[in-house]
């Protein structure tokens, strides 16, 4: 098959009216408005999505009601995030998204989702994006996206089933991580107001550190081995990697490196308008000026500090104001005076439980990252025919 454009296989629908739908009054939400922030790690995260009324849902979906199997593609900030709508999701598109509906006679839905997530297609999307300040994709640019030669639809189905086994395992792992975090939070909250705990300000609970960004035009500062954490890349509660790495020279010339067991959270950025991003490092990392790093005092376990802050994220969000350009900002003066509760002794039973739960969740998250890398490695080999589906099935079976 000769190379064809994306519109040969799909219908592209933009129905977001260039604004965010109004939020439903409490108890009246029947659907969710999904925008760029809700496309996370290849899935749709409705936990922070805005609920909307049935009337808003009908208005926003006047052109087409998003259906299970449809794919959401982000077209700005950042471009190229992809996720498929699952059964039971009632969604209207928020800002900066487009809906892609495949022709099922020409291409397998799940295969197409993997294809859009592949490194080659992602690079093409980034290359097509225009705009120096905020890169964005126009609908015509996506329609004209070249799709490589594709295998038959039956082979597509075999490939998607094989790679889908990896995605299914990743989904199970995500549930384990979420369950571990929720359980740890419940344990902390249950015991934090007992006599074994005391009140303390964040200012006195840890050593506070600020980060920075090495000069982006200095090649010797970037693409090293040290993950560089920014407001954009801090997406996980267990921090071990980033979309950008710096070198030792870069760390010495504009950033700061912290060790494993450091709590990092975002203090400035667009994400702060909707969520408070916080994580605990699993290895040495560097971080930017939009984050703060807290090194727990010797008498406080870092995982206890992490949950003491994370469990109060809704209250912390209430402290966020706005910068001149509309980004969220968390005043250091305010957050440093914020009171948390910590155990009187660092090695108490609760701290140990929290640490063990976090360590398990971090291991599972690391496994998911390895599985995702395997999936992305197998896809181009399967598409090109360099790897047989049966051989890939064996590799996947061993991995899962």
pLDDT digits (tens, 9 = 90+) for 343-361: 998 778 999 999 999 999 9
pLDDT in tens, 8-31: 888 888 765 556 788 888 888 889
- Residue identified by tokens 């980033």 is 242
Q: Are 310 and 358 in contact (CB under 8 A)?
A: no
CATH class of 4-150: alpha beta
Higher pLDDT, 379 or 362: 362
pLDDT in tens, 67-78: 999 999 998 878
Q: Are 135 and 4 in contact (CB under 8 A)?
A: no
Give the C-alpha separation, 25 to 13, whole Å: 28
Residue 321 predicted with pLDDT over 90: yes
Lowest mean pLDDT among 10-24, 81-95, 195-209: 10-24
Q: Are 278 and 340 in contact (CB under 8 A)?
A: no
pLDDT in tens, 103-143: 988 899 999 999 998 888 999 998 888 876 678 888 899 99
Q: What pLDDT sits at residue 17?
A: 59
36 to each of 19, 78, 252, 282, how far by Cα in Å?
A: 12, 8, 34, 27
**Please, which pLDDT band fits residue 3 given cuts at 50, 70 and 90?**
low
Q: Are 229 and 256 in contact (CB under 8 A)?
A: no
Give the C-alpha separation, 45 to 18, whole Å: 21
pLDDT in tens, 214-236: 999 999 999 999 999 999 899 89
Higher pLDDT, 384 or 315: 315
Lowest mean pLDDT among 41-45, 189-193, 390-394: 41-45
Residue 163 predicted with pLDDT over 60: yes
Lowest mean pLDDT among 77-81, 367-371, 392-396: 77-81
The 10 Å Cβ neighbour count of residue 260 is 13
> From the DSSP assignment, how many helices (H) and strands (E) are in the chain?
12, 25
111, two tokens: 């295969």
DSSP 258-290: E-TT-EEEE-EEGGGGT---EEEESS-EEE-TT
33 SS3 class: strand
Which residue, 115, 109, 133, 137, is CA-closest to 125? Answer: 137
Which residue, 64, 63, 81, is CA-closest to 72? Answer: 81
With 0-12 / 13-18 / 19 or more C-beta atoms within 10 angstroms meaning exposed / middle / buried, residue 343 is: buried
May I ask the CATH architecture of the domain 197-347?
Alpha-Beta Complex (3.90)
Q: What pLDDT sits at residue 93?
A: 86
Q: Where are the domains of the chain?
A: 4-150, 151-191+350-400, 197-347
Residue 161 predicted with pLDDT over 80: yes
Give the C-alpha separation, 337 to 256, whole Å: 24
Which residue, 121, 113, 193, 119, is CA-closest to 156? Answer: 113
pLDDT mean over 140-162: 90
344 to each of 108, 153, 341, 350, how far by Cα in Å?
A: 57, 62, 9, 11
- Residue identified by tokens 């957050």 is 335
Pairing of strands 222-229, 10-13: unpaired
Q: For the chain, give the mean pLDDT.
A: 91
Radius of gyration of the chain (CA): 23
Give the C-alpha separation, 171 to 164, whole Å: 10
HSE toward the beta carbon, residue 76, CA cutoff 13 A: 16
Do the domains 4-150 and 197-347 sit in the same CATH topology, yes or no? yes
Q: What pLDDT sits at residue 1?
A: 43
CA dihedral sign, ordered 154, 158, 159, 164: positive
């Amino acid at each position: 098959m000769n190379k064809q454009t994306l519109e040969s296989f799909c219908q592209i629908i933009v129905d977001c009216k260039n604004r965010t739908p109004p939020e439903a009054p409490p108890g009246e939400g029947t659907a969710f408005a999904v925008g760029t922030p809700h496309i996370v790690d290849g899935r749709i995260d409705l936990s922070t999505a805005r609920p909307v009324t049935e009337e808003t849902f009908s208005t926003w979906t006047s052109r087409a009601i998003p259906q299970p199997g449809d794919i959401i593609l982000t077209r700005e900030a950042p471009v190229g995030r992809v996720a498929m709508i699952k059964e039971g999701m009632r969604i209207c598109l928020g800002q900066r998204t487009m809906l892609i509906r495949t022709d099922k006679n020409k291409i397998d839905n799940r295969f197409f989702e993997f294809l859009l997530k592949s490194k080659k297609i992602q690079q093409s999307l980034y290359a097509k994006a225009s705009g120096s300040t905020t890169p964005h994709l126009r609908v015509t640019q996506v329609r004209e996206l070249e799709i490589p030669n594709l295998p038959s639809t039956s082979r597509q189905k075999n490939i998607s089933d094989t790679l889908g086994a990896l995605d299914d395992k990743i989904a199970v792992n995500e549930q384990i991580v979420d369950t571990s975090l929720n359980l740890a939070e419940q344990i902390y909250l249950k015991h934090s107001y007992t006599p074994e705990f005391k009140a303390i300000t964040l200012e006195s609970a840890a050593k506070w550190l600020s980060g920075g960004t090495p000069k982006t035009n200095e090649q010797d500062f970037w693409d090293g081995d040290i993950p560089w954490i920014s407001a954009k890349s801090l997406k996980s509660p267990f921090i071990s990697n980033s979309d950008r790495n710096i070198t030792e020279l870069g760390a010495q010339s504009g950033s700061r490196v912290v060790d494993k067991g450091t709590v990092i959270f975002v203090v400035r950025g667009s994400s702060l308008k909707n969520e408070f991003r916080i994580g605990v490092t699993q290895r040495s990392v560097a971080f930017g000026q939009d984050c703060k790093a807290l090194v727990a005092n010797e008498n406080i376990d870092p995982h206890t500090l992490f949950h003491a802050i994370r469990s109060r994220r809704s209250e912390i969000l209430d402290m966020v104001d706005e910068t001149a350009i509309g980004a969220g900002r968390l005043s250091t003066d305010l957050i440093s005076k914020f009171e948390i509760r910590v155990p009187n002794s660092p090695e108490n039973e609760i701290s140990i439980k929290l640490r063990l739960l976090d360590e398990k969740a971090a291991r599972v998250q690391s496994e998911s990252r390895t599985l995702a890398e395997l999936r992305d490695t197998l896809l181009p080999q399967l598409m090109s025919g360099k790897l047989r589906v049966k051989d890939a099935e064996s590799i996947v079976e061993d991995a899962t």
